[in-house]
Amino acid sequence: MTEMTIAYLIWLAVALLFVVLGVYDIANAEKGKAFGFYNISPPPKAESLTDVKAYNRAIGKLLIGAGLVFALLGLPLLFEDDNAAVIVLVGVLGSIAWVIGMVLVYELGIMKKYRKKR
């Protein structure tokens, strides 16, 4: 097994973690407690959401989709024929776009839809 294959397997393990968290959020959506998205801030209070169950399912779908996209972003690691530029462009810059995309979907999609209007 080459170093790049091992690197992709590690990349894939991180992607799988996102998918597992998403499945957990969907499976436990009924609990009545909102799940968090950002690691640096507490999850929203259930009272501040219109539908906690639907919110948790939306977070789960976001995490599953994010995990699948992240797995695809690491694919250039498997093709190690002097493609360092491709690895940097797709892997690194793609990951930056991936994070920004997740935040936009969360803030402009999920929170906009499920946050109670004041």
Of the candidates 70, 65, 72, 63, the one whose C-alpha atom is nearest the C-alpha of residue 24 is 63
- What is the model's pLDDT at position 81? 64
- What is the model's pLDDT at position 80? 64
Tell me the C-alpha distance between 89 and 33, whole Å: 39
How does pLDDT run across 39-94, given as a tens digit for each residue?
Answer: 777 888 888 999 999 999 999 999 999 999 999 998 888 876 666 777 778 888 89
In the chain, what is the straight-line distance between the N-terminal and C-terminal CA atoms, in Å?
57
Range of the domain at 11: 3-114
Range ranked top by mean pLDDT from 19-23, 91-95, 114-118: 19-23
Query: Which phi-psi region, left, alpha or beta, contains residue 43 (left: φ > 0; alpha: ψ -120 to 50)?
Result: beta
Number of domains in the chain: 1
Give yes or no for a contact between 50 and 114, defined as CB atoms under 8 angstroms apart: yes
Tell me the C-alpha distance between 14 and 17, whole Å: 5
Note the pTM of the prediction, 2 decimals: 0.89
Percent of the chain with pLDDT over 70: 97
Tell me the C-alpha distance between 44 and 61, whole Å: 18
